[in-house]
Structure 1
Amino acid sequence: MGGTLARAMLAAGHTVTVWNRTKGRTDELVAAGALEAQAPSSAVAASPLVVMCTIDKVACETVLQMSEVSGLLTSKTVVNLSTGSSDDARRISEFVEQQGGRYIDGGIMAYPRDIGKPGTTILYSGNEPGFSEHRKVLQSMAGNAVFLGNDAGTASVVYLALYAYYFGAVTAFMEGAALAEKAAVGPEAFRKLSGIVETMLADGLVDITRRLNEGNYSGDQATINVHHAGQTAVREAYIQDGIGYETTKAYMSYLEKAQREGNGDKDIAAMYSAVKTRN
C-alpha cells in the first residue's frame, strides 16, 4: 500500500522522497521519479509532510522514536496511515507533539487499486492546522479526505468500525451466494440480485437510526420476534444444504438476547442495546 500511495503523489506532481526498511523495495518508485532516502531520518528531513504506512502503528512508532528521527520532528506534520488502535494513535500523537511536530492519524478505506481516485476515502483526525495545510497533497492519495476532528484516536475507531461493517457484509454475501448456488443461481447472478437487498438496507438503516435517535421502538413494521421466526427458516436452509452460516448465527444470537431483555415485541432497532454490551 505504501508504494501505491507514493505513486499517487508522484502522479499528482509532488516531490516524493521514499524509504523502506527492505532493500530494493523502492526501486520501482525511484524509476517513476521518487527520490530515495538511505535512512528514515533522511526521508523525514526531506519534507515538511511525512506520510507513513507500515504494517501497524507500533512499527510506525518505533521508527519515529529513533533518536536520529525524533530530533527532526519539530515543525513536521506526520500522517500515519497504518492500522492500529485509538490508544496507539493518541500515544504516538502525544510523542510527536512533544517533539514539536503535528500528528494526524488516518484510515485508508480502500484497496490499492483505488488509491489516487477522486472518490476514494481516507479518514483523518488529529492536528487540524496540519490537515488543512497539506489537504491537497492528501487528496492526491484519495480525493475524499474526511477530517473527523482533533482527537487523533477518532479516525482509527471509525476506520475499524466501518471495516467491521464491510467485512461482515462481505461474509454474509458469500454465505448467501453459497445458498443461492444450490438453486443454480451463480455468484455473479446473485451479485446482480443483491442490489434489491442493498436498496432495502439503505432504507432500513435510515429507519433504524431515526428510531434510535427518537427512542421509538414500536414494532409497527416487523418485531424482533417476527425477525427471529424468519431467520430460523434461513438457518434451517443452511443446515439442510450443509453451508456455513456464521453471520446468521451471530444475528440470531443478538435477536435472542433482545428477546431475553424483553424486547421481542419491539422493532429491530431495539436489538442495538443487545449489541452494545457483551454480557
Structure 2
Amino acid sequence: MSVPDKCVSVIGCGNMGSKIARVLAGSRFTWAWNRNAARVDRLAPFGVHRAGSAGSAVAVSRTVLLVLADYEAAEAVLAEVPASAFEGTTFVNLITGTVTEATRFAQFINQRGGDYLEGSIWATPSMIGDPGTVIACSGRESVYLESRSVLRTLGGASCFLGAEVGLANVMEAGFPGAFCMAAHAAFAQLARTAADSGASWDAIAAAVEPAVDLLAKSLHESVARLSKGAHETDQASIDVYLAAALKYDQTLRDGRGNASSPFIGALISVLRKASGDGFGELGPSALGVDRAFRSQPNT
C-alpha cells in the first residue's frame, strides 16, 4: 500500500499525545490510536482520525510518534503489529525513560525493519507547537532529517543531539528533568516562604524574570568554562557561594516559617565538600569537575 508522505500517526492519547495529535492535524493527515478509543474520538473536531488498531496506525503512516506511559507499554502494543508494517516507517519514541530502555527498544524496532529516533520533549502539553519548544532527538541523523519537519511542527526549536540513541534520555534527565524540576520545586517552596514573610505575589512574580536572567547568564559562563577546563574566576567563587548559602539558610530559619529549605541544605552540603577539597577559590563551574560533588547518595 502506498503511504502519503504527509500522513503521520500518534499512538497514545493522554494529555501530551492528544496535544501532539491536535497540532499535527493542523498541517498533516493525522491518525491516532489509544486503547481507550474515546480519547481519540474527542480529537475528531480537530481533524484527528481514529485508527482501528495500533497495526493500522503504523500501516498508514511513514512517521509514527509513540506517546505511551512507558517502554513496556510501547513494546506490548507494537508486539501485536505485523513485522511487515515496520518496513519504511520511522518510529519517534517520546516516552521518558533510561538509556538502557532506549537502547533495547531501538533494537526491538530495528529488528522488525523500522527506523528509530529517541525523542525527548522539553515542554508541557500547552507548549507543543510553539516556536521555542524543543524536542531533542538522538539516533541516526539521516532518520532525524527525514522526520525534522514533523518534529519542528511540534516544537520550532527541535534539534538533533547525536548518534548515541540514549543521548536524548541523558539530556532530558539532566536539563528539563533534574535541573528544571528541582528549580521548580525549590521556587514553589521559597515563593511560599517569601509570601508568608510578607512579600506580595506581585513582587514574587516580578522576581522571576531577573532571577532566570541571572541564572541563564551564569550557566552560559559555566558551559564556556567547563568546555575549556578553566574555572578560575574574578566573580563569585565557591567559597562566596557557601558563605551566602549559610546566610540564606539562617534567614529562612529566622523567618515566620522558622524552617529552611531542603534545597538549601543540599546546596550547602555540595559547596562544603567542594571547598574542603580545595576548590573554594574557583568558580561554581568547578562543581562539574569532581564526580564526588555529583554523586550524593539518595535519601
TM-score by length of 1: 0.91
User: 1:263, CA displacement in angstroms?
Assistant: 2.0
1:261 aligns with 2:274: no
1:11 aligns with 2:26: yes
User: What is the aligned counterpart of 1:60 among 74, 92, 104?
Assistant: 74
Which residue does the alignment assign to 2:294? 276
1:97-135: CA deviation from partner (whole Å, max 9, x where unpaired): 111110011111111111122221111111322222232
SS in 2 for 1:55: coil
**Does the 8 A contact of 1:63 with 1:69 survive in 2?**
no
Matches within 5 A, 1:107-146: 107-146=120-159
1:73 aligns with 2:86: yes
Quick one: structure 1 residues 23 and 210, their matched pair in 2 at CA, closer, same or farther if it must change by over 3 Å?
closer
1:46-105: CA deviation from partner (whole Å, max 9, x where unpaired): 111111100122211222223x34442111111111111121111111121111110011
Matches within 5 A, 1:144-163: 144-163=157-176
Q: Aligned partners of 2:247, 2:18: CA distance in 1, in Å?
A: 48
1:190 aligns with 2:204: yes
1:222 aligns with 2:240: no
User: 1:147, CA displacement in angstroms?
Assistant: 1.0
**Does the 8 A contact of 1:55 with 1:82 survive in 2?**
yes
Which residue does the alignment assign to 2:181? 167
SS in 2 for 1:213: helix
User: 1:167, CA displacement in angstroms?
Assistant: 1.3
1:206 aligns with 2:220: yes
**Does the 8 A contact of 1:224 with 1:263 survive in 2?**
yes
Which residue does the alignment assign to 2:53? 39
Deviates more, 1:171-180 or 1:113-122: 171-180
**RMSD after superposition:** 2.0
User: 1:219, CA displacement in angstroms?
Assistant: 5.1
Q: Aligned partners of 2:35, 2:235: CA distance in 1, in Å?
A: 57
| Equivalent AA in structure 2 for residue 111 of structure 1 | T
| Equivalent AA in structure 2 for residue 252 of structure 1 | I
1:103 aligns with 2:116: yes
SS in 2 for 1:144: coil
User: 1:201, CA displacement in angstroms?
Assistant: 1.9
Which residue does the alignment assign to 1:178? 192
TM-score by length of 2: 0.85
Deviates more, 1:180-189 or 1:143-152: 180-189
Q: Aligned partners of 1:26, 1:34: CA distance in 2, in Å?
A: 8
SS in 2 for 1:148: strand
Quick one: structure 1 residues 244 and 43, their matched pair in 2 at CA, closer, same or farther if it must change by over 3 Å?
farther
1:27 aligns with 2:41: yes
**Does the 8 A contact of 2:250 with 2:260 survive in 1?**
no
Percent identical: 32
Deviates more, 1:104-113 or 1:27-36: 27-36
Give structure 2 stretches of 5+ with no counterpart: 1-15
Q: Aligned partners of 1:5, 1:276: CA distance in 2, in Å?
A: 35
Runs of 4+ in 1 over 4 A off after TM superposition: none
| Equivalent AA in structure 2 for residue 50 of structure 1 | V
